[in-house]
């Protein structure tokens, strides 16, 4: 005769929904038999979390099943028995036995709505008196902080050079003399090319500074035949050549003077 002991082990005194509940079953092991855990798939709101633990001590086997319940209340379960395997390969299984799991809800118990006491009437909330003092303090702090900045901004004076409408550097803005003394001839030539190309773009917008020299001269001959394209070609080609091949002493200043003179002449023609 097989004796079955079914109990709840390692279960909290007040197990709630979602807690792990260990269900323990103890059975005697027949002599000369091996023990195998049974397959179990509980139904309803109880779920098996994993395979059972098997512990054999002396002539008894203890099966511990990890369970969880997803609804509060009492849950009836049928726990299967272990499987015993004889030396000849035959198998026998202990009969299933029933047990009850009690689970509480995780929500606090509250009385029904009909049992709630009526609360006394709330007192009238007094209206806060609006005051302009915070705004006045803010304006005073802003005045103290911003007035020195405003005065400093007005005392800066006019800008050193007024930018032209097309973003070009004014003719007198490039420090040609200091660049020449420092041996920066290419900087002088680049400034002369930029001044001349921007002056040309003012009279012939299609010949913008984004074009290379050859394309610029082609556009000037086709779109703006009234301009002295031959003069432009001579100076721009000389500027390009001089930027990549050193010339005689003083040639850089002469090229810069020729380029700025032609640019001034174009500006004068435009003004007239």
Asked whether the predicted pLDDT for residue 162 surpasses 60, the reply is: no
On whether residue 198 sits in a domain, the answer given is yes
Asked whether the predicted pLDDT for residue 204 surpasses 70, the reply is: yes
Determine contact, residues 174/190, Cβ cutoff 8 Å.
Answer: no
Q: Most confidently modeled of 170-174, 232-236, 244-248?
A: 232-236
What is the residue range of 71's domain? 5-103
On whether residue 126 sits in a domain, the answer given is no
In which residue are the tokens 């900087």 written? 187
Top pLDDT among 52 and 181 is at 52
Reported as type and span, the H/E element at residue 100 is strand 97-103
For the domain that residue 14 is a member of, what is the CATH number?
2.60.40
Asked whether the predicted pLDDT for residue 66 surpasses 90, the reply is: yes
Close Cβ partners of 270 (under 8 Å, ≥ 6 residues apart): 202, 203
Is 36 in a helix, a strand, or coil? strand
Domain termination site, one of 88, 103, 118: 103
Domain match, 96 and 182 both = no
Domain termination site, one of 43, 71, 103: 103
Determine contact, residues 259/192, Cβ cutoff 8 Å.
Answer: yes
On whether residue 197 sits in a domain, the answer given is yes
Top pLDDT among 78 and 160 is at 78
Residue 196's alpha-carbon distances to 8, 171, 192, 256, in angstroms, are 99, 9, 6, 10
On whether residue 110 sits in a domain, the answer given is no
pLDDT band at residue 1 using 50, 70 and 90 as cut-offs: very low
Residue 227's alpha-carbon distances to 8, 53, 151, 195, in angstroms, are 106, 101, 49, 16
Residue 67, beta-bridge partner list: 21, 48
Residue 152's alpha-carbon distances to 70, 116, 138, in angstroms, are 74, 70, 22
Among 85, 87, 67, smallest CA distance to 24 is for 67
On whether residue 164 sits in a domain, the answer given is no
DSSP 209-242: TTS-HHHHHHHHHHH-TTS-HHHHHHHHHHHHHH
Note the pLDDT tens digit of each residue in 112-133: 777 777 888 888 887 777 888 8
Number of domains the chain is built from? 2
On whether residue 159 sits in a domain, the answer given is no
- Mean per-residue pLDDT over the chain, rounded: 79
pLDDT of residue 2: 30
Quote the CA–CA distance of 100 and 46 in Å, as a whole number. Answer: 11
pLDDT of residue 118: 81
pLDDT of residue 52: 92
Q: What is the mean pLDDT of residues 174-189?
A: 70
On whether residue 109 sits in a domain, the answer given is no
Token duo for residue 40? 């179990």
Note the pLDDT tens digit of each residue in 17-40: 989 999 899 999 998 899 998 999
Domain termination site, one of 103, 122, 146: 103
pLDDT band at residue 69 using 50, 70 and 90 as cut-offs: very high
pLDDT of residue 186: 76
Asked whether the predicted pLDDT for residue 84 surpasses 90, the reply is: yes
DSSP 46-69: EEE-SPPEEEEETTEEEEEEEEEE
pLDDT of residue 28: 93
Asked whether the predicted pLDDT for residue 67 surpasses 80, the reply is: yes
Residue 264's alpha-carbon distances to 75, 194, 208, in angstroms, are 102, 13, 18
Domain match, 9 and 99 both = yes
On whether residue 158 sits in a domain, the answer given is no
């Amino acid at each position: 005769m097989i004796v079955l002991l079914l109990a709840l082990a390692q279960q909290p005194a007040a197990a709630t929904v979602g807690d792990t509940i260990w269900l323990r079953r103890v059975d005697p092991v027949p002599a000369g038999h091996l023990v195998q855990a049974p397959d179990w798939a509980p139904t309803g709101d109880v779920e098996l979390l994993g395979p059972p633990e098997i512990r054999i001590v002396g002539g008894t086997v203890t099966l511990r099943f990890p369970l969880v319940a997803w609804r509060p209340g009492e849950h009836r379960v049928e726990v299967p028995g272990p499987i015993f395997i004889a030396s000849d390969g035959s198998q026998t299984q202990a009969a299933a036995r029933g047990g009850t799991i009690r689970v509480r809800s995780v929500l606090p118990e509250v009385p029904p709505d009909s049992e709630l006491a009526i609360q006394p009437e709330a007192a009238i909330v007094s209206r806060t008196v609006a005051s302009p003092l915070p705004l006045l303090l803010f304006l005073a702090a802003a005045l103290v902080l911003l007035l020195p900045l405003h005065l400093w901004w007005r005392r800066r004076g006019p800008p050193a050079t007024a930018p032209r409408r097309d973003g070009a550097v004014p003719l007198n803005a490039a420090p040609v003399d200091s660049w020449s003394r420092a041996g920066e001839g290419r900087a002088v030539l680049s400034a002369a090319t930029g001044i001349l190309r921007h002056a040309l773009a003012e009279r012939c917008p299609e010949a913008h500074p984004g074009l290379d020299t050859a394309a610029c001269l082609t556009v000037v001959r086709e779109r703006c035949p009234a301009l002295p394209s031959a003069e432009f070609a001579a100076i721009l080609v000389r500027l390009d050549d001089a930027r990549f091949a050193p010339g005689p002493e003083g040639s850089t200043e002469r090229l810069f003077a020729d380029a700025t003179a032609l640019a001034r002449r174009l500006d004068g023609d435009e003004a007239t």
